[in-house]
Amino acid sequence: MNLDEIESFLKSEDVASEQKRLRIVRAIGMYSVGLFAVKVSPQGDALSLAGSGTLVQIRGIHYVLTARHVWQEVLKVSNQLGVTLREVVDHRHLIDIGDVVPIGPVPGVSWTESGPDIVLLRIPDVYVGAIKASKVFYNLSTDEPTPPPGNSLQTWFLMGVPGCTGVFTQNHASVEHIGAEVGFLSSQTGELWDLCDVNFNASFLPPPQSLGGMSGGGLWKVFLHDAPTSDGFDCVEVLAGVAFWQFALDGKNRKVRCHGNESLKSLESMTDEN
């Protein structure tokens, strides 16, 4: 499959092309999780969607990478952190909040589109094995994967769990992990915490087409290239950022703000202090 054919299936809406896109989403989805807050009470546990995250490891230590407000506003004040390992099943993998160690910039007085709004949640080793049975931790402590040799096509995907597509009761959640191809708009460098904006076509989401629940989801840069596979292509996935802010709906589109690669490096350096 040449680059023109790869570009064609990315734009096409036929079933065969959708299956090829799903292959990319499944590969990235192995690192992606939904995050739930569980509050324990005599009346029964209450479950609520907190946001999204990416499983990462840094020098052998395991974390969930997410937006700081997901931790500060929802998870920190709960009793347990719930991590989704499979779609459309009752969530049962729980981590006591007291065992979770947040690492990241100190939050400001209020949350704004300027950030910083990013954090690593350290997962105790005792919980890691069960997560690895279903998921994979992306290695942030190594150099980012090398793009394939020769010609390749670069595109971007945003992963997460939008609340508007889920079904929730007090103690049950059925959620959908989505991976949407997004258009890269712009980037802003900063001393420690850079920003980048992407365009998200929200037309496939139910009203109000909100991306609530996708905060903390991973922004991925994907290199596609010709390869002797059954689909005729292969891909290299690079974690490139974390979503933390959605702007007002503009027609069928929403601009989403993320922290980018500089922020990931700054966050990684903070783990040396902990």
- Tens digits of residue pLDDT in 2-39: 777 777 777 777 777 788 888 889 999 999 999 999 98
Q: 118-172: per-residue pLDDT in tens?
A: 999 999 999 999 999 989 999 998 767 777 677 788 899 999 999 887 776 666 6
Strand pairing of 138-139 and 46-58? parallel
Mean pLDDT confidence for 70-96:
82
CATH number for domain 32-132, candidates 3.10.450, 1.10.3470, 2.60.40, 2.40.10:
2.40.10
Q: What's 250's DSSP letter?
A: B
Q: What is the largest CA-CA distance in the chain?
A: 61
Which residues on adjacent β-strands are paired with residue 135? none
Tell which residue, 120, 68, 77, 117, has the closest CA to residue 97.
Answer: 77
Compare 186 and 230 and report the one with higher pLDDT: 186
Mean pLDDT confidence for 57-80:
96
pLDDT of residue 68: 97
Q: 210-255: per-residue pLDDT in tens?
A: 999 999 999 999 998 887 777 777 888 999 999 999 999 999 999 9
Which residues on adjacent β-strands are paired with residue 158? 180, 219
pTM for the model stands at 0.92
Domain coordinates in residue numbering, the chain: 3-30+142-273, 32-132
pLDDT of residue 161: 92
Cβ atoms of residues 182 and 206 within 8 Å: no
Instruction: Output the six-digit token pair for 177.
Output: 């992990």
Taking 60 as the threshold, does the pLDDT of residue 87 lie above it? no
Note whether 3-30+142-273 and 32-132 share their fold. Answer: yes
Instruction: Output the six-digit token pair for 270.
Output: 């903070």
Domain 3-30+142-273 has CATH 1.20.950: no
Compare 105 and 233 and report the one with higher pLDDT: 105
Average pLDDT in the chain? 88
Run of H or E residues at 234: strand 233-246
- List Cβ neighbours of 57 (8 Å cut-off, separation of 6 or more): 63, 137, 138, 139, 140, 141
Question: Using CA atoms, how far apart are residues 69 and 255, in angstroms rounded to an integer?
Answer: 19
CA distances from 260 to 221, 239, 255, 269 (A): 11, 9, 15, 15
- Asked which of 47-51, 92-96, 247-251 is least confident by mean pLDDT, the reply is 92-96
Taking 80 as the threshold, does the pLDDT of residue 86 lie above it? no
Q: 160-171: per-residue pLDDT in tens?
A: 999 887 776 666
Amino acid in the structure at residue 68: R
Grade residue 274 by pLDDT with cuts at 50, 70 and 90: low
Taking 70 as the threshold, does the pLDDT of residue 69 lie above it? yes
Task: Using DSSP, state whether 69 is helix, strand or coil.
Answer: helix
Task: Using DSSP, state whether 65 is helix, strand or coil.
Answer: strand
pLDDT of residue 90: 52
Residue 150's region, left for phi above 0, alpha for psi from -120 to 50, else beta, is: left
